[in-house]
Amino acid sequence: MLEGLDPEQRAVATALHGPVCVLAGAGTGKTRAITHRIAYGVRAGILQPSGVLAVTFTNRAAGEMRGRLRQLGAAGVQARTFHSAALRQLQYFWPKAVGGSLPRIIDRKIPIVADAAAACRIRLDRNELRDVTAEIEWSKVTQTVPADYAAAAAKTGREAPRDPAEIAQLYAAYEDLKRDRAVIDFEDVLLLTVGILQDRHDIAAEVRSQYRHFVVDEYQDVSPLQQRLLELWLGDRDSLCVVGDASQTIYSFTGATPDHLLDFRIRHPGATVVKLVRDYRSSPQVVRLANGLLAQARGRAADHRLELVSQRDPGPEPLYTEYADEPTEAEGAARRIRDLLAAGLPPAEIAVLFRTNSQSEIYEQALADAGIPYQLRGAERFFDRPEVRKAGIALRGAARFGANDSLLDGAVDLPSQVRAVLSGEGWTSTPPAGSGAVRERWESLAALVNLAQDFAAARPDATLADLVTELDERANAQHAPTVQGVTLASLHSAKGLEWDAVFVVGVAEGMMPITYAKTDEQIEEERRLLYVGVTRAREHLHISWALSRSPGGRPGRRPSRFLDGLRPGSSGAQGRAAAAGIGGIERGFSTIGTAAVPRRADRTPARCRVCGRTLSDAGEMKLMRCDGCPSDMDEGLYERLRAWRTVQAHRSGQPAFCVFTDRTLVAIAEAVPEDAGELTRIPGVGVRKLNRYGADVLAICAGQDLAEEDRDD
């Protein structure tokens, strides 16, 4: 049982008496340590398998723990989530404690919350229903009753999605409706179990006689309600082992708090405390950056941070890449991913992590364009989201009946038309305060507004109908079924997972930390969220940000403050860390054959190559000439390019414009580039398309016939 454990893990495994607190950093083998501890105790005859209850927070983690315990010969140990363990006890003791059958547990709270809103004459849309439901859940896990909600929310600095008095009223009405209908919810399982154990000492004694030793994983995520249940399970005993890392507390919005972990030695003065700092997951380069992030942290959790020590061989330095705009950033990530795939890395070992689910669309598009399979974790695909589908229906209706739609009165161009239509779906010019479903819905609609602005900039004459067609084509192109692929995930949903290569994208002020993180503690939780993202990487780590949202936009963004003193060229409190060799900044380049092709970096004013006038129109900028200036396009070359594009579009199953737009083909036929350097200077020919199509385009421009298999049948 002890072979193969490092000294600290061995100390955990052999600490079988009294309270034990394991402070385990990311990738330090905590699950290995605690499962070997349980199995060693069983083999030594100190622990009885049926008397051990190991609890964690997800069914996946509990299943993994059960599997490991079976392999180690401790199959009789119970490994469950808090809710699963409580439900089992509640079902068993309900007839004895209350009588009759346990009330039905509802799958969804929202229908009852909607009925409560109707009873209170408060109108809530679907997303407000989700946010109010989340507030009710938070109240229950923090043991806050309806009358105390407003005060509790104010004390914790919680931004309520509605007036706190209204939420308290809805919360009370929701509880009344549940009682009337004889149903209970997910949180009631814990609350009722706590109530029975508090009121019925005979039942509490029976539970304690069954379970004599407890192990709690991810202890930094315990809510006050879960902590109270644990205390009732324990009674006056101290046979408890907890495992956690305050630096990975990222779920405070659900009621989780690291205080129970940090106060463990206060509640148990004689506790054995073991720190696991040997990181077996990540390379020294990744670990150095992770340590640097926490070295700048402030607050109570930061005071208890762990300094990780990598046990792996050296790997590549983290790459920091600055891009001009978000589409270029997504394109750059897709290009690097394609290089990793070409080098033999399986797609399932690569992840792209972002702060909000609304960021997924641009990466879904970039990976789909590059022909890279992907899977979206923890969120619906962008065009499958209900608010996006509903917005598409509204835009389609406005395109069909726009002349008779009063919403479009005064809307003089395509972007203003889209803003007018989506305002009826909940979009506003300023985002709603706080996080939650309402904010996520707004961000999805804002992404459509931004897409419309970019589309109009590229096609000034485009109509609302053209945009609807564009949205349909994008949706169809992105939804090819995939079984195995690159993971796209939010930083929150990446917790507990790991990959060989991780791309943490959008690491700019306003997104990391997020704009609505105002207090010091909220800012520090954002830092911990980035720390979690960084520590998901085993070997390859790419961190990137964009200076503007869209091509040609004002480059007003700056890299996240969390990278100050860590990324090369930055100054800050941790400048010494950068000097120690963290990372290497790269502006992004690609190759065709052996020729390095630098990306366009600093934008200079575009001028017409015929008359010299400064260009501002997106279409003219793509052609590098005024629409009124004469064209010297090679008509024959243009037709050959169009025929070639048709073949490529047919093969990829995408619209022709996804290969190159008409204007880009015109620009190529006018410039007749002779090498990759000249080709990449043409707007619309990014690195991704240069790598994919550059050789063909240059061959066509040189008058060469492509191979027979490249011709259209």
Binding site listing: 24-31
Assess contact for 142 and 254: CB atoms under 8 A: no
Which residues, 6 or more positions from 483, have their beta carbon under 8 angstroms from its beta carbon? 373
Q: Give the CA dihedral 332, 599, 578, 532, nearest 10 degrees.
A: -10
Assess contact for 325 and 551: CB atoms under 8 A: yes
- For the purposes of burial, counting CB atoms within 10 Å of the CB of 664, is it exposed (0-12), middle (13-18) or buried (19 or more)? buried
Other C-beta atoms within 10 Å of 223: how many?
22
Residue 553 CA to residue 341 CA, distance in Å, equals 32
Q: Which two tokens stand for residue 149?
A: 């909600």
**What order of strands is seen across the sheet that includes strand 350-354?**
374-377, 486-490, 350-354, 499-504, 537-548, 319-325, 584-585
Phi, psi (degrees; rounded to nearest 5) at 321 = -130, 130
Assess contact for 37 and 12: CB atoms under 8 A: yes
In one-letter notation, the amino acid at residue 103 is P
Residue 427 CA to residue 420 CA, distance in Å, equals 9
User: Taking each helix axis from N to C terminus, what angle separates 126-141 and 224-234, rounded to the nearest 10 degrees?
Assistant: 30
Assess contact for 356 and 488: CB atoms under 8 A: no
Assess contact for 330 and 363: CB atoms under 8 A: yes
Chain centroid to Cα 68, Å, comes to 28
Of the candidates 342, 105, 55, the one whose C-alpha atom is nearest the C-alpha of residue 222 is: 55
- For the purposes of burial, counting CB atoms within 10 Å of the CB of 495, is it exposed (0-12), middle (13-18) or buried (19 or more)? buried
Q: Which two tokens stand for residue 380?
A: 């619906």
DSSP secondary structure string, 558-618? -B-GGGTTTSTT--STTHHHHHTT--EE---EEEETTEEEEPP-S----B-TTT-PBP-SH
Which residues, 6 or more positions from 457, have their beta carbon under 8 angstroms from its beta carbon? 550, 551, 552, 618
Residue 462 CA to residue 475 CA, distance in Å, equals 19
Q: Which two tokens stand for residue 2?
A: 């002890």
Residue 301 CA to residue 293 CA, distance in Å, equals 13
| Annotated binding residues for ATP | 24-31
Say how many CA atoms lie within 13 Å of 398 toward its Cβ: 27
Assess contact for 544 and 527: CB atoms under 8 A: no
Which residues, 6 or more positions from 624, have their beta carbon under 8 angstroms from its beta carbon? 606, 608, 609, 615, 667, 671, 682, 683
